[in-house]
A and B are shown apart, each in its own frame.
Chain A
Amino acid sequence: MSELTGRSAAELAAMVRSGDVSAVEVTDAHLERIAALDGDVRSFLCLGPEPAREAAARVDAARARGEALGPLAGVPVAVKDMFCTVDLPTTCGSRILDGWRPPYDATVVSRLRAAGAIVIGKTNLDEFAMGSSTENSGFFPTANPWDLGRVPGGSSGGSAAAVAARFAPLALGTDTGGSIRQPAALCGVVGLRPTYGRVSRYGIVAYASSLDQAGPFATTVADTALLLEAMWGHDPRDSTSIPSAPEPLLASLENGVAGLRIGVVEELTDVDGIQPDVRAAVDSARALLEKAGAEVDTVSVPSVEYGLSAYYIIAPAEASSNLARYDGVRYGLRVPAPEVEAMNASTREAGFGAEVKRRIMLGTYALSAGYYDAYYGQAQRVRTLIIRDFARAYERFDALLAPTSPTTAFELGARTSDPLAMYLSDVCTIPTNLTGACAVSVPAGLDAAGLPIGVQVLAPALGEAVLLRAARCLEAGFNFTARPPLGRPEVAA
């Protein structure tokens, strides 16, 4: 394989800026690696070699004219197929949007293009981001590059797998209940869910609007900061966008954790069904942070026990409302029928997969007359309890530590027949979505089966700088250099 793949985004941007390599060469090297190896992984729903090479050629031309290049000049980025892109179809992994071409770019995509990044393709996902394994894609499942018989996690499984497989140094995901952090953990890469309102949702297809937030995937903590700095900040086109300017991240990345107070969340570390290797990784992370000078103690956040239940009312309720727009009228699929209501119902029946229907049904039920207060109203009050519990924890601590996922990657098909077992994959990530705060998953080694483990650092809203300092400390401590065995011949034991 080319020696241009497998390098960090920061390295590639520096090489393009200095003229050591052209953006077109970088793009071609990654497209070649995808062509050679993505047949096994299937991380991409569609590739855009032509628009990618054109964008790369524009970066090279700008450099030749002596113009200043952006921070991501010539760096390939894989984009989860929830983000609108004018030059590539946007399907959300759903048959109902098969072939749909949006009339505009998501704000995040525009910002990355302006920073010089090269959008190389759209990655696979659970349909409308509903799932934890990418098996709910309306098109095909994606495999975990570490073990092709296992899931990459989800819903942003294609993005996590693409970065793990070094098809692109960076990728975009969305995280409504853990959909960036959980696949990052299962694929051995870094994934960060920013504070709600920090990253514009304009042009990102809505799933659960009070929980959705876009964020970066990368192989290093520094690249994660680099991508986040390029994508976040206020956007007048998103009324939930936070108006204040975000603080710089790269500048404080190496400030260390000396004096930081970090709490290990008991309820998440001792969660039902936690794999012993994962539990041990949290203990190792604790030791690394202590060794680097942090003050670490355990903390109880009792209401997180109700997070999963509250989430699986609130998210489907919001989804049932957001997905009402797919009615066969303005875009996407239409199944003809003589009357409009039958056309709507037949279109939705044909276009949506089982999990999307399940969540629409669940949400519609939870919002229907007679049940609204018992389910939706009560879940919103529990959300308040969880927010209060975390606020109490953050009186004593600057950041919190927890597993990202209770287990490492599970086998394809293992949880598809039991929706509740699948939902339990999200138990450690959901609290951050309910509270609107931020969290990052960092690789913490391999389990006994050679599968990546992730540990999670959580911080209060707007705490991304602290989050990344702690993540950088863990990255240095764990020194995770293993790569997926993809494309290498099997070594006999």
Chain B
Amino acid sequence: MSNPLTRADVEHVARLARLALSDAEIEQFATQLGAILEHAARVAALDTADVPPTSHPIPLANVLRPDEPAPCLDRDVVLSMAPAAEDGRFRVPRILGEER
């Protein structure tokens, strides 16, 4: 059987991931993520000291194009998809908690 993560672990990761999990979800993820991580830990045990990591399967580097102006998406079209927009910008709620 696996080591469940603690509630505090799950709450910390949920905060990093910007997920407002319910109590039931926190319980469930503590168990499930523990089991999945235990399976994944099989790779942690392998000796890979001399093996370089692969971040990308095809070796393409520094793909460049000429720096020329070209049409892009229309601002009004883009803003029309947003939940809230104002004066040509995205509108969001208060960002700094202490301001009032």
Seen from chain A, the residues whose Cβ lies within 8 Å of a Cβ on chain B are: 100-101, 103-104, 195-197, 210-211, 236, 239-240, 242, 306, 308-310, 312-313, 320, 324, 327-334, 336-346, 348-349, 352, 354, 357-358, 360-362, 364-366, 368, 374-375, 377-385, 387, 419-420, 423, 434-437, 461
Contact = CB atoms under 8 A, between A and B. Distances in A.
A344 B94 CA distance: 12
Contact of B93 (A306, A338, A354): A338
B15 to A, nearest CB: 8
A73 B35 CA distance: 50
Interface string B26-61: 000100110111011111101010011111111010
Instruction: Tell me what chain B mostly uses at the interface: helix, strand, loop, or mixed.
Output: loop
B58 A197 contact: yes
A329 B83 contact: yes
Contact of B51 (A312, A385, A420): A385
Contact of A345 (B9, B18, B25, B93): B18
Instruction: Tell me what chain A mostly uses at the interface: helix, strand, loop, or mixed.
Output: helix
Contact of A339 (B51, B84, B93): B93
A374 B37 contact: no
B8 interface: no
Contacts of B58: 195-197, 240, 242, 436, 461
Given A329-B90, A382-B48, A210 B55 contact: yes
A210 B57 contact: yes
Contacts of A364: 13, 16-17
A155 B94 CA distance: 38
B54 A345 contact: no
Contacts of A327: 18
Nearest to A242: B58
Nearest to A313: B40
A100 B81 contact: yes
A352 B20 CA distance: 11
B49 to A, nearest CB: 9
A197 B97 CA distance: 44
A272 to B, nearest CB: 13
Given A309-B40, A334-B84, A240 B14 contact: no
Contacts of B40: 309, 312-313, 366, 375, 379
A365 B41 CA distance: 13
A354 B27 CA distance: 13
Given A210-B57, A419-B36, A340 B17 contact: no
